[in-house]
Amino acid sequence: MAEVLVLNQNFEPLNICTMRRAVNMVLTGKAEVVLTNGHYVRTVSGGFEAPSVVRLRYLVKRPLPQVRVSRRAILARDNYTCQYCGHVSRDLTVDHVIPRSMGGGDTWENLVACCRRCNLVKGDRTPQQAGMKLARKPRRPNFVPYLSLTQYAKALSREAWRDFLPVYDGFTPEMAD
């Protein structure tokens, strides 16, 4: 089923929802169509072009979410790329740069995406001890979108939505492709 980007009244991205939910919001007057996707939606009273982006008619006030450390967030931050060898895959593990046995914690600065092969080679050692080099130093994302990191990456992969997404340093549209 097609997905639709939902914007707050101030054009800030809030969510990605199903076409059915978006059409329902438009028909009930809760949202307006900002961008269409070229398809046509038929209704009992006629029809209209299917939305690709909708904007709420009222402002939703939300506190800024905290980006929590999770496997999915680490993989999205690292663009599903092994930080040791550069292998791109959806089947990656999360590696502790400084192993837990040496006092390394579950923090943004200590976790990286890693392929299974590199994880086995590195084992319970630091990258220096294993003779491996990180592609880039892991760090906490310097942005807090209302969309989760995985939703933000998915939204970036759609060229039509990019005009409605904020640009964050270190996270580019090419990372989502």
pLDDT tens track for 16-56: 999 999 999 999 999 999 999 989 988 888 888 999 999 99
In the predicted structure, residue 84 carries a pLDDT above the cut 50? yes
- Give domain status of residue 13, yes or no: yes
Number of structural domains found in the chain: 2
- Give domain status of residue 157, yes or no: yes
- Give domain status of residue 139, yes or no: no
The reported pLDDT for the residue numbered 176 is 47
- pTM of this structure: 0.57
Computed over its alpha carbons, how large is the radius of gyration of the chain?
20
CA distances to 23, 118, 149 from 4, rounded to whole Å, are: 9, 38, 17
Same domain (yes/no): 82, 112: yes
Same domain (yes/no): 122, 158: no
**Angle, vertex CA 67, rays to CA 61 and CA 71, nearest 5:** 140
Same domain (yes/no): 58, 75: no
